[in-house]
Chain A
């Protein structure tokens, strides 16, 4: 059996192990170890396993991940999302579908303090869905907007998935993070446009709320969310200006989140302890899986899969769109069954050489990948954000209604992807200013 055949067989074996509910990190590690053993022999395979975990983890650039996760945990544990939603609600209530629009804005804001889509969806779901149901909003719209707007967390910096992509694709983490800003804003804007149009055409989806709030109350609510622009300035401003690396911005942002929560009297021993444990658990989870993915990358290299993929892409390199569509189908299918981290870490060792081979911009490709991971978060049968929302709403909204409600937002996502493919500068403009 040739090395390439072993490589392809290995990928199938890993997928089979994952389907058998072996932890993804273990499936990637075991499958890759067996593959390297078959190609190179037992001792070289053991050698790879011996040095890899420590070498991979003891890396300065990867330390951005625990810092982003800590900032996100402190922000959500200390209740910033509550103030944010209230302010968005008071200011945006006048629009058709005002509560749904507020949820989108608040989620985008929360995404700027959080590195995880599911954390954003969970925090916003507990606040926004009961409110929307109280005012007789369509259940599908109420749940759909929270599940979908939560996905902005993986695009708007800080984003754990973007940092991981940057490490695997060997591109600048800072540029990669900044590349997510405009597509994130564009996605939120298109969501809002869709909500306003739908609610204008069918007002029963979102009955008008007759609430009067005086100007002073509105400004007070806005003043309460001052920590958010501060965190955005620290993280996005720090990275964009080049003043701070991603790790520095994350650490400073986390420290600022602690201080803000302290001065707002939202910090307690419990909040601090829970935030630290939450950040560590998420970090452990990400890295255990990533160690398996690094092994897969080595296995694929030994098997010659990158060359094979590059050769495969060569005849259609001039039909770039065809390649993007092909990749998007693979991502959507994988996203239906695997969580975003699994899709990212499983697909990158195979997909990256393909797109590198045809000369695609790796920063642009990264944002496209993240968009598809976002879509995977809300597509059946395993849409993780949808399940997060389901766990929040319990029996009030059936799963099918949530998936139906999400449908409109998936259409918006596809429009955004099309725009990013047609106008790559939406992704590349801000990073290009950093060079």
Chain B
């Protein structure tokens, strides 16, 4: 349900292709390389999310078929779906959502703002998002360390299911999303400071 028509944009855009000072050019280059790394990380996580979605579909379908044809459901399906697949599908896709579509925003009240003010607002918004996601990620990391040390398991019909590995997917998802938000905030800050040379390259600018 994307709202503000977001599409993937280049990591950083500088329409002034020549005449940059070496320092600024180098900074821009580093910036783009960093963003590329985060985009690759988000894509890698998306592969995990897609695989988990496919696995969930096949696992649950097999469970139904086994349940009704052979009166023998696959034990532990419920726990595997909830504890592994769901966690992977959701947390491994949230960073890619921001890279590809952008999380839901309402732009109705800010459409009339001048570019410099809009970019200042974007800097704040992305920074706030980064802080929020960073806090969620940090707390998830503490949880993951604690649960791993405890070897967290869920009890199932036929034994125990290790859950602690999926705690690390939460950390990975929030960490990459934090990086993407932080880069977007930096992009917006650069654009706010120097609107002549840098145009903002957030997801909502590409259409």
- B3, B105, B128: the one contacting A30 at CB < 8 Å is B128
26 residue pairs of the A-B complex, CB under 8 angstroms, read A19-B110, A21-B109, A21-B110, A21-B125, A23-B105, A26-B103, A26-B128, A54-B170, A58-B83, A58-B87, A60-B78, A63-B86, A66-B86, A252-B61, A254-B57, A255-B57, A279-B53, A281-B93, A281-B97, A281-B100, A286-B1, A287-B94, A337-B108, A339-B1, A340-B1, A384-B1
Contacts of B121 in A (CB 8 A): 20-21
Find chain A residues with CB under 8 A from B50 CB.
Answer: 273, 276-277, 280
A280-296 vs B: 1/0 string, CB under 8 Å? 11111111110000000
Q: Cβ of B97 and Cβ of A58 under 8 Å apart?
A: no
Listed stretches B17-25, B26-34, B134-142; interface member: B134-142
- Which of B59, B94, B106 has the largest number of chain A CB atoms within 10 A? B106
Known: A58-B163, A70-B57, A118-B1. 10 other contacts (CB 8 A): A19-B106, A19-B109, A23-B103, A49-B136, A63-B56, A63-B82, A279-B53, A280-B46, A284-B90, A337-B106
Instruction: Report the minimum CB–CB distance from A10 to chain B (whole Å).
Output: 15
Q: Say whether B140 contacts A338, CB under 8 Å.
A: no
- Min CB gap B82→A, angstroms: 5
Given A286-B1, A339-B104, A341-B1, do A63 and B85 touch, yes or no (CB 8 Å)?
yes
Residue A29 is within 8 A (CB to CB) of chain B in the complex: yes
The contact size tier of chain B is 35 or more
Contact A251 B61, CB 8 Å, known A23-B105, A288-B103: yes
Query: 1/0 contact trace for B22-63 toward A, CB 8 Å?
Result: 000000000000000000000000100110011011111101
Query: Complex formed: what's the CA distance from A118 to B143 in Å?
Result: 37
B160 adjacent to chain A (CB < 8 Å): no
Q: Which residues of B contact A284 (CB under 8 A)?
A: 49, 89-90, 93-94, 96-97
CB-contact partner of B103 in A53, A54, A285, under 8 A: A285
Interchain CB contact under 8 A, B61 and A21: no
Q: A21-B125, A54-B170 are in contact. Are A338 and B106 (CB under 8 A)?
A: yes
- Give the distance in Å from the alpha carbon of A279 to the alpha carbon of B136 in the complex: 24
Contact indicator B129/A67 (Cβ below 8 Å)? no
Near B by CB (< 8 A), chain A positions 57-85 give: 57-60, 62-63, 66-67, 70
Residue B91, interface by CB 8 Å:
yes
In the bound complex, how far is the Cα of B181 from the Cα of A29, in angstroms?
A: 15
> Could you tell me the distance between the alpha carbons of A112 and B32 in the complex, rounded to whole angstroms?
44
B82: chain A residues within 8 A (beta carbon): 58-60, 63
Secondary structure of the B contact surface, majority rule: helix
Interface positions, chain A 247-298, Cβ under 8 Å from B, are 247-248, 251-252, 254-255, 258, 273, 276-277, 279-289
Residues on A with beta carbons closer than 8 Å to the beta carbon of B170: 53-54
CB distance from B149 to the nearest CB of A (A): 16
A251 touches B97 (CB 8 A): no
Q: Which residue from chain B places its CB closest to the CB of A15 in the assembled complex? A: B106
> With a CB–CB cut-off of 8 A, which chain B residues contact A29?
132, 136
Residues of A within 8 A of B54 (CB): 276
Task: Provide the residues of chain A in CB contact with B64, threshold 8 Å.
Answer: 244, 248, 251-252
- B5 proximal to A (CB < 8 A): yes
Query: B86: which A residues are within 8 A, CB to CB?
Result: 57-59, 62-63, 66
